[in-house]
Amino acid sequence: MTDTSTQLTKKDRISGKVVKTTLAGAVVDIGGGKLGVVPISQLRKEPVRKVEEVLKEGDQVEVWVRRINAANGHIELTMIEPLAMEWRELKKDMILTGKVSKMEKFGAFVDLGAERPGLLHVSEMSHDYVRRPEDVVKVGDEIEVKVLGVDRRKKQIKLSIKALNPEPVIEEEPEQEPQKPAPTAMEVALRKAMALSEDRSDAPQSVATKKSPSPVMDDILSRTLENRRQ
């Protein structure tokens, strides 16, 4: 509650007493020797035909400062609680606290005290993949969000939780040396045949035996030649 002995500012909430009613509204004593006027249009959100439908002299009321004319000291009051956030006050990159008011498959709506709630899309809830919005927030949660954008013409507010947190650093895995492909059955057989041939060449043999080719080597060579022809 604002102390009326201090300087009044817009949206200040004040307790006062109705000292007079007119066709145009009501005059309220807000203390400190100051009077304010509540226009008939500011008595409630619904239309009012007569001030007496809502107020009468002597009533104690809660009012908010709507406008102050510095030139003549005129104070205009309202009995309609003002929005915490006006459209002109909303800016990109602002960090605000709001309450989750509604859940949808594509995200959640957050009440910021503005004329309309802001949209927190499921893709803006976390750097990690989020399958369902309710895995992160639920109705009634008070959360901190960052304003990504404001479309005053469409009256849309885009919000993000993800933008409040740094993007996680992905550690790169050390590069592994490429593995050599496993030898084919033909290569294995050829290596065995060559090793067997070398072992036999080391043993003392007659000239006639050395000249005769190895049957295993003949078989490998003939199969290799066949494959090449194909």
Structural domains for the chain: 13-78 (2.40.50.140), 87-164 (2.40.50.140)
**Pair of tokens at residue 220:** 């490998």
Closest CA to 112 of 149, 151, 143: 143
Place of tokens 């008070």: 142
Residues of the chain with pLDDT under 70: 1-6, 183, 197-230
Q: How many Å apart are CA 157 and CA 87, to the nearest integer? A: 10
Mean pLDDT of the chain: 86
Count of other CB atoms within 10 angstroms of residue 65: 21
Instruction: Give pLDDT, residue 55.
Output: 94
Instruction: Give pLDDT, residue 218.
Output: 65
Residue 185 neighbours by CB under 8 Å, 6+ apart: none
Instruction: Give pLDDT, residue 207.
Output: 47
Count of other CB atoms within 10 angstroms of residue 8: 17
* Contact between 32 and 41 (Cβ < 8 Å): no
Instruction: Give pLDDT, residue 185.
Output: 73
Instruction: Give pLDDT, residue 208.
Output: 47
Residue-wise pLDDT tens digits, 44-99: 999 999 999 999 999 999 999 999 998 888 999 999 999 988 888 999 999 999 99
Instruction: Give pLDDT, residue 149.
Output: 96
